[in-house]
Structure formats: structure tokens, C-alpha cells
Structure 1
Amino acid sequence: MKVNILIVGGGISGLSIAYTLAKRGIKDILVVDANYIGSGSTGRCATGIRASFTSEEHVVLMKNSIELWKKLSQPEELGKYGLQFDQGGYVWIASKEESVELFKKLVNLHNSLGVPTRVVSPEELKELVPPIRADEAKAALHDPTAGKSYVFDTLHAYIKACKELGVRIMTFTPVRKLVAGGGKVKAAVTDKGSIEADTFIVAAGSGSKKLMESIGVDIPLKNLPRHIMITEAFKPAFKPLVIDWDAGGAPYIVQTKEGNFIIAREIEEEPEQPLGSVRIDFLPKVVSAMAKWFPWIKRIRVLRYWIGYYVTSPDHHPIYGPVDEYENIYLACGYSGHGYMLAPVTGKIITEWLLDGRPSIPQAERLTLRRFKEGRLIEEFAIVG
């Protein structure tokens, strides 16, 4: 089989790239996935979307991505297929004075880049999140531009739109290796035969590292397990996603459109642990952390608990764009837990790299694989939610 563009990875990043390319008029695009669509990190995420990061690169990328989320949710775009963007905001709670001072610095950064965050008092926090017990809060950082989407609605919308634009999607087609020669990637070897392409895009999440190793390119990625749970449903209680900045493991809680609460917290894990591992200490740890602010969560029932990977890069920023070794392959991976929220801007960046020679967002050019060889790592501290 021979195609124009082969995208390896059928999560939200791969679909966003395929959709954006097809909207620009590109034909003969094939997306392949080793399992079903959204079977990797996409289908296991909490779907938060925010620009309140600590690096310029993330803030600018996510400011652009949020604008695209809003556009995509309109009826003339993917909204007609069910994609929604609920702009309910984010709230980061500080219980230490030094965190309040950090929030003030972050607000200056955000505001300078066009993101209208602000530091709010405990009284204002209570107005934003009425059920919270805010007496131990010193202040909070409020990001009103943030929000959430709904993963399976979003995947369905992208699949529907991609197919209508002529994109082909092959599921249960694992790519075992890439074949290269003469400075170009020639083919992808799958269980169903080889696929040749003019251009290859690797958006395979946790599988990206092994795939690139098959052509001698090392991507510094680690798969870090993260745990999450969902509760029984209640009437709407609050809109923002709420994160405790000062608690160990950065616990957070958000309510879905159906009324369930998604609650998560980082707990100590070794990289590359299998996703099937169950940590019985997770539930009491996450509940005890959030019960400080919401005492009533100790009395609600948990419906489901699952594990997903944060596919992390050394500096917790995505790895975008071309690689030095081959002229016709591009990377979109290493999001460190933020691939879902970045997906629309990922599609824009990779499409512009292919069709225009460079992305229109200059910060994206700082995020190629080359930065690790040159020691240009970019710090990011807000790597949850």
C-alpha cells in the first residue's frame, strides 16, 4: 500500500493532525492505530484544558489551543458532530504564603501573554466553588479561560469529520517498525503488510519511542502511570477544575456534564509500570487530600478507577516537528499529560510545518527533538490536570 501521508497513532493528536491537514485540502491521508481509536492516553485522561502553565511556551501554545477549542465547538465545525468545550475555568488553591507569591508572578506572566488569570481571595474562591471549605486557603489562582471537553464525544466528532474529508482510518493495525534509507523513511511495517508513504507523522503516544528506535532515532520519553477515579453522579455543584497546588501529588477534582466527579492525585510510581497494576493505597490517598476542601467526598461512592500513562519528556514539554536524521518524518509526542488539551494546536503546528515550512507560532520551533541534544530544556512545574 502507498499513501501520501501516514499518521501513526489514532489518539486525539493523530486525529487532529489528520483533520487539520484534510481541511487544508491534503488528500490520501491514512491514520493507523495498534488498537481501537482512543485506546491509549486519550481515552484515559480527565480532559482538562488550560493555559495556566509556568512556561511561556506552554502558555502561548495553550492560549492558541483554547481559541481553537472554542472554534471547533461551533456548529459549522466539529460542534455539529458533538464536540463541546465547557469553559468553566480552573482554580489552583494555595495554602502557603510562598505559593501566593508564586501565583502573583505567574499572573504577571499569563497576563503579559494575553491570558487573564488573577489571584483571588478565599472569599472569592468560595463564590467560584460554593461547596468548598476555604478556611485553610491563603488565596487561589483563577484561570477563567480554562475548561474541559468530553473525550468520547470529541473522538467521535474527529472520526466523523475526518472520514467525511476522505481520511482513512485503520484500527488494530500495530506498526512494528519503520524502514528507512537514503535520508528518508520508506515504509511502516504492520501486521497487515508494509505501508509506504511520502510523509510520516509519529503521534503514537507511549509507542513513539520504540517506533523511532527502529530507525535509529532516540526520543527521551518515559511512560509514567497516573491514577484516576470517577464517582456516582450528583446535581451540578461547581464548574471549575480545582487543584490543590501545595498538597503532595497535586490532587484535583472536576465535575462532568453528567454530574460525576473525576478525582485524581499523583502517587509515587516507577516509570514503565504496566497499566494493569492496581494501587490499593490510591483511593484513601486521593480522598484524604481532597476531603480537606470537600469533606463530603468521604461519603460518596466510587464507580470506577483506572490508570493511564503520562508520556513524559525530560522537560515536560511536547516534542514537535522534524528530526535531523530524516527529511520526511515528523513527531508529535511527549506531552507529559497534556496531549488532550494541546490537540487542536498540535494539528495546526504539524500541518503548518508540512505545508508552510514552519509553524506560525514561533514558540513551537523551540520544541523540536534537537533541544535535548543542544541542552535547551525548558522548565515546567504545573504538570498535572
Structure 2
Amino acid sequence: GFKQIGYLFLVSDEKALRGFETRIALQKRFGVDVRVITPKDAQAIVPALRVDDLIAAVWGPQDGLAGPAEVTQGFAKRARELGAGIVEGVEVTAIDVAGGKVRGVRTTQGEIASPVVVNAAGPTAARVGRLAGVSVAVFPRRRHIFFTEPFPELPGPVPLTTDHASSFYFRKEMEQVLLSPGDVEDIGQDQIVPMDWAKLDETVTKAVHRLPLIERAKISGGWAGLRPLTPDDHAILGPAPGVEGFFLAVGFGGHGFQHSPMTGRMVAEWILDGKPSMDLSLFNPARFGKDARLGDAHKDKPDAE
């Protein structure tokens, strides 16, 4: 289920603060409880923080987390109850397109005829797009997370806390602490994600700067995954240009789980009603050309703002 832990951003410079203030104004118009607080206020929320080099923090007390596996299984259970069929362990090898329209998909277990195909393939979205002859500007980039042995010296609850200047973030998971350097790395893969243990040194350096007591913790393990980035940091959502019946719901930059309930609703409205009930022009798939690339700004840019 949903666990409310809060979301805390730590801000070190005026330019970053102005950017946050712009986003906060938009969020408040939609009723989101988010506010700028002082460094001392941030330290009151997480007493172990070093705050002497901060100018402000941004606090969202109502934010929280849920288990992606559990939520996905919940979606699947309800879909089956409503008559959907879910086939696992099957690879799509081709998307049949004729006369500019989707006709179906070919898989390792046979063909499925369908006038509609939705590409929601996360980091592999570009590869799936190519099966239909569509260029999809999604670029997978590696991100590491390490975790400590049980570390009661950092008392909970602890919100997800991001150091905007360094991209480092952390939170507690039971009695362990999750730590990420906020890395953004092209490894030339969209599926296989090897760990780079050299990233641990970078993570520890950033962690000790912002959370000095973490120096006493022992690292127990870690993992790496891929975040599907786009050139403008916005998702790609809607009908693919040039192929009728091929819809894109990709490029959420690692936040697709967070946005999935509304994304599913909007795609369903597009398919069933011909258009969504919200203005989604910001996410128009046609905004990128075939030669779209990620800029260098993504190398050091924190996510989840």
C-alpha cells in the first residue's frame, strides 16, 4: 500500500531555488501541499543532515511511496477481472504495419491481430518503436542504488531526500538506508544492466558530505537500472506520427510508476473516445525529429523535481 513519508529537496543556490519556486506555483494551483522551508526546518525533519551550505529546502509532506511489484499485480488482477488477457514470457518480434496502419504484432508464440498497439516499453521504447518504423526519442541511462546494513543510528521515518546540487538522494527502507549518486550514464544497453561498483566511491563521498553519520554505516549491496530519458525531460504520450493505431506512453525518466494511473486513463480515452479529456500537447510525440539526442545537461541534472 501507499506509505506517506514526504519528499525533501535540498537547495544550495538561488538559480535552483527560482526553478523550484516556479514549479511550486504550478503544483499549488493543482492543490499540492508543497512549500519552501529553511535549512533549519529541513534539519528538524532529518536531524542528521548537514545544512550549513544550503539556502533553502522544498518540502512535500504528503508525498510517499508504494511497491511497484504489488501495484502492478493489483492492476493486472483488476484487468483480468474485466476480461483482459495477459501473456507473460513472450517476445514481440515484429509490429505489422500496412497502408500506414497497425495490423497486429508477431511474437515468439504466434501472431495477434489488432488495430491498436501501445508502446509502453520503458527503456526499450526506442527498439519497440523501430519495429513499427517509428523513431522514438527515448534514451536509456543507468542509475545505481546502494543499500546499507541495518543502521538504526539514522532514526526514522526519513523522507526521500534529494541533494539538488550533487544529485545524491537517500531514504530509509525498514532499518536499511538506500543511497544513490544520481548518476546518468549511457552504457549502450536498453535491457542488460551490469553494476559498476566504482560508483560506490562517488556515492559514499556525496553521502558523507550531506549525511555525515552515514560514514559509520556498512554497505550491504546494490543494484542498477535504466531510466528512459527524453531530450526535454517530458514524457512522450499519444499517437505516433505516421502510423495509425500505434500509441506511445514512454519516456517518463524513471517516474512512469508514479504517473501510471493517469497515463493509463489518458491512453484508454485516446483509444476509445478518439481524444483524451486533458490537454496533453506538451507530450506530443511529433515534437521530436528523427535526429533528436540528449543534451549534455542530463549528465549532472537531478531528476524528480
TM-score (norm 2): 0.87
**1:132 maps to what in 2?**
49
Quick one: which of 68, 81, 87 aligns to 1:170? 87
Change (3 A) 1:263 1:185: same
Q: Deviations over 1:253-279 (max 9, x none)?
A: 0122x3322211233623524744332
1:326 aligns to what? Answer: 243
1:224·1:270 contact (CA, 8 Å) conserved in 2? yes
Distance apart, 1:320 and its partner CA? 0.8
Counterparts of 1:205 and 1:105 in 2: how far apart (Å)? 28
Say which structure, 1 or 2, has more relative contact order (CA 8 Å, 6+ apart).
1
* Equivalent in the alignment of 2:182: 266
Show the counterpart of 1:240: 159
1:365-384 aligned within 5 A: 365-373=281-289, 383-384=303-304
Are 2:260 and 1:340 aligned?
Answer: no
TM-score normalized with structure 1 length? 0.70
Deviation of the 1:234 alpha carbon: 4.6
CA shift in 2, pair 1:228/1:179, >3 Å: same
Q: Would the aligned equivalents of 1:275 and 1:307 in 2 still touch at CA under 8 Å?
A: no
CA-atom RMSD in angstroms: 2.7
CA contact (8 A) 2:193 2:226 kept: no
State percent identity of aligned pairs.
Answer: 28
How big is each residue's C-alpha offset from its partner over 1:9-44, in whole Å with a ceiling of 9 and x where there is no partner? xxxxxxxxxxxxxxxxxxxxxxxxxxxxxxxxxxxx
**1:160–1:251: structure 2 CA closer, same or farther, 3 Å change rule?**
same
How many angstroms apart in 2 are the aligned matches of 1:375 and 1:278?
A: 30
Cα pair distance change 1:321/1:304, threshold 3 Å: same
2:231 to 301, 310, 314: 314
Secondary structure of 1:355's counterpart equals: helix
- Residues 275 and 265 of structure 1, relative CA distance in 2, 3 Å threshold: farther
Q: SS at the partner of 1:115? A: coil
Q: Deviations over 1:333-375 (max 9, x none)?
A: 111221111111111111111122222221x233121111499
Structure 1 residue 289 corresponds to structure 2 residue 209: no
Counterparts of 1:1-385 in structure 2, within 5 Å, are 84-234=1-151, 237-247=156-166, 250-256=167-173, 258-267=174-183, 269-273=185-189, 275-362=192-279, 364-373=280-289, 383-384=303-304
1:130–1:237 contact (8 Å) kept in structure 2: no
- Pick which of 299-308 and 267-276 moved more: 267-276
Q: Distance in 1 between matches of 2:20 and 2:245?
A: 42
Q: CA deviation at 1:304?
A: 2.4
Given that 1:228 and 1:307 are in contact with CA atoms closer than 8 Å, whether structure 2 keeps it comes out as yes
Q: Using a 3 Å threshold, how does the CA distance of structure 1 residues 115 and 226 change in structure 2: closer, same or farther?
A: same
Change (3 A) 1:351 1:383: same
Query: Retained in 2: the 8 A contact 1:128–1:238?
Result: no
State the AA in 1 paired with 2:160.
L
* SS of residue paired to 2:47: coil
The one-letter amino acid of 1:358's match is K
* Runs of 5+ unmatched residues, structure 1: 1-83
User: 2 CA distance for matches of 1:330 and 1:239?
Assistant: 39
